[in-house]
Structure 1
Amino acid sequence: MGVVFGGAVAMIYIGLLVFSLALSVVILVAYYKLFEKAGEAGWKAIIPFYSALVMSKIATGKKTLGAIWIAVYSVFMMFYMGFYSRQMMMALNSSHMSASGAASMMISALFIFLLSIGAAVLTGILMFKFAKSYGKSEGWCVAMIFLSGILIIAMGFDNELKYVGPNGIPSSDQYGVNNYDNNNNYYNY
């Protein structure tokens, strides 16, 4: 009975892994297409951290938001990894913890929590502005904060979606292409 249950659990995990990998590939393809629609090379969407800088440039016209996100996320990961490795070492070395060790652990945990909130807020702002740069409505932009994976796929595979400009404001882009037509319609109908 236990072998059958263990096999079923393993199959579920393998199924979830395959599904997650397939979904990740589809999301990367959608980002690739969105970067190309904004006049950037699609390969830039695949490179970790660099893609955040380019996404920030697409969304806001500057790389600043992406650089801040990278900094906050990197510090978060360093503290997170350090916190848990220190916690494991303390668990292996002793069965009790001193008061100063406990206080240090609490301060580290609080700092990690605050960094995670900062990273989440910055991610939300970046997603909101990214959707706005493609002319999406306020409601869609708010939904991007919570459902970005699904909505990125919808945007990436929408053949009629056009890049409007940083912050959703039509302007001449980096290549000098004016997004306005003769009637000042920025969707170029």
Structure 2
Amino acid sequence: MSVIIYLAVVVLMFASMWVIFEKADLAGWKAIIPIYNTYCLCKITWGNGWIFLAFIVPLVNIVVAIMTMYKLAKVFGKGVGFCIGLIFLSVVFYPLLAFSDSKYMGPDKKIA
């Protein structure tokens, strides 16, 4: 039973990322490729996909992940509260971001 629930959550997260990528004018299939999806997420949020290399560095990856979630909320017109939701309850907030009427506004090209 727990395997079915786990698979349902995985499918929900993949579907949410697929829709988020499509809202940002990227092909949705890019969301299911393991490392490439992180590159594309950084491209969506930072405007520069190569920031994803910071995810390799221990401890730095935690800070960059939090900053990326903040920027993800920001590029879709959401605030800090939504960012906190993305960090701690991503299984709820990713679908909210994907299946709501929020629009992708693009990165502001500034760091932080």
Q: Does 1:163 align with 2:104?
A: yes
TM-superposed deviation, 1:65: 2.2
Partner of 1:12: none
Residue correspondence of structure 1 range 172-183 to structure 2 within 5 A: none
Residue correspondence of structure 1 range 72-87 to structure 2 within 5 A: 72=57
SS of 2:22 mapped into structure 1: helix
Larger Rg: 1
TM-superposed deviation, 1:153: 1.1
The AA in structure 2 aligned to 1:20 is: Y
Q: Is the 8 A contact 2:40 2:49 kept in 1?
A: yes
Q: Distance in 1 between matches of 2:90 and 2:77?
A: 16
The AA in structure 1 aligned to 2:105 is: V
Q: Distance in 1 between matches of 2:33 and 2:81?
A: 29
Residue correspondence of structure 1 range 1-189 to structure 2 within 5 A: 15-69=1-55, 71-72=56-57, 115=58, 117-158=59-100, 160-167=101-108
TM-superposed deviation, 1:127: 1.4
SS of 1:35 mapped into structure 2: helix
The AA in structure 1 aligned to 2:75 is: S
- Counting matched residue pairs gives 110
CA distances 1:73-126 after superposition (whole Å, capped 9, x unpaired): xxxxxxxxxxxxxxxxxxxxxxxxxxxxxxxxxxxxxxxxxx2x4333222221
TM-superposed deviation, 1:17: 1.4
| Change in CA separation of 1:23 and 1:148 when aligned onto 2, cut-off 3 Å | same
Higher relative contact order (CA 8 A, sep 6+): 2
Q: Distance in 1 between matches of 2:76 and 2:46?
A: 11
What is the aligned-residue RMSD (CA, Å)? 1.9
The AA in structure 1 aligned to 2:13 is: I
Q: Distance in 2 between matches of 1:119 and 1:20?
A: 25
> Tell me, which stretches of 5 or more residues in structure 1 are unaligned?
1-14, 73-114, 170-189
Q: Distance in 2 between matches of 1:148 and 1:124?
A: 12
TM-superposed deviation, 1:27: 0.7
SS of 1:166 mapped into structure 2: coil
